[in-house]
Amino acid sequence: MTEKDQPKKILVIRSATRILNKTLVLLREEFPGCHITVLVAQSAKESMEKDSLADEVLTIPDQRRISVSSYGKNNIRQLQEKKFDLAIALYNIDHGLGYSNVDLLACSIKAKSVRGYNSKGTFEKVTPFTAKKKSFLEKTTFFWVAANYVATIILFLIITVALVLEWFIRLPFSKKQTTSFNKTVTTHSVQKPAKVEI
């Protein structure tokens, strides 16, 4: 990457708090002299403004999930006008599943490049296609888990019914075998030896 291509304006979406400082340090090392803006929940604004690694702090309403809908179209338009060179989504887990909402938000601001940083400090390039694919996988995961549970229950019931039916089918044959065995024992019973008196 040439000096001309080096990101000057970076937006970091604070979606994983425990790796935020580590990521900011990595960005400062990789892109010296860059301007870092951090997007945080309203409740974290005051503490984030004290952090020397952030040049600017923007807020998003306190909600369960950071997403395009929770940030709002007007706010996203304002971010687009800032013309960020790089947008960063943070993940608490290595594969980043569960963070598609943050990826979609990062892609929506139309930065030149988007990265997803994980807890190991490594990153992957994020595109609108990969963000939508991740979103699809997250939404269908619950479906497949439920489908597996239902399939397991159905198979268990089928096996149980089959075993009960087999038992009922074998029952008459086992009675015939027991009766014939008892007859054989009775006809071939061993006589006790007579006692001999002296």
Query: In terms of domains, do 18 and 110 share one?
Result: yes
Query: In terms of domains, do 30 and 118 share one?
Result: yes
Question: Is the predicted pLDDT of residue 189 greater than 60, yes or no?
Answer: no
Any idea what DSSP says for residue 17? G
Number of domains comprising the chain: 2
Question: Is the predicted pLDDT of residue 17 greater than 90, yes or no?
Answer: no
Higher pLDDT, 46 or 198: 46
Whether residue 104 is contained in a domain is answered as yes
Cα–Cα distance measured from residue 98 to residue 139, given in angstroms and rounded to the nearest whole number? 9
Whether residue 170 is contained in a domain is answered as yes
Query: In terms of domains, do 112 and 152 share one?
Result: no
Two structure tokens written together for 111: 């930065």
Whether residue 90 is contained in a domain is answered as yes
Q: Give residue 188's Cα distance to chain centre.
A: 72
Residue indicated by tokens 């960020």 = 84
Query: In terms of domains, do 55 and 80 share one?
Result: yes
List pLDDT tens digits, range 90-138. Answer: 876 655 555 677 788 888 888 888 888 887 777 888 877 777 777 677 6
Query: In terms of domains, do 37 and 89 share one?
Result: yes
pTM of the model: 0.62
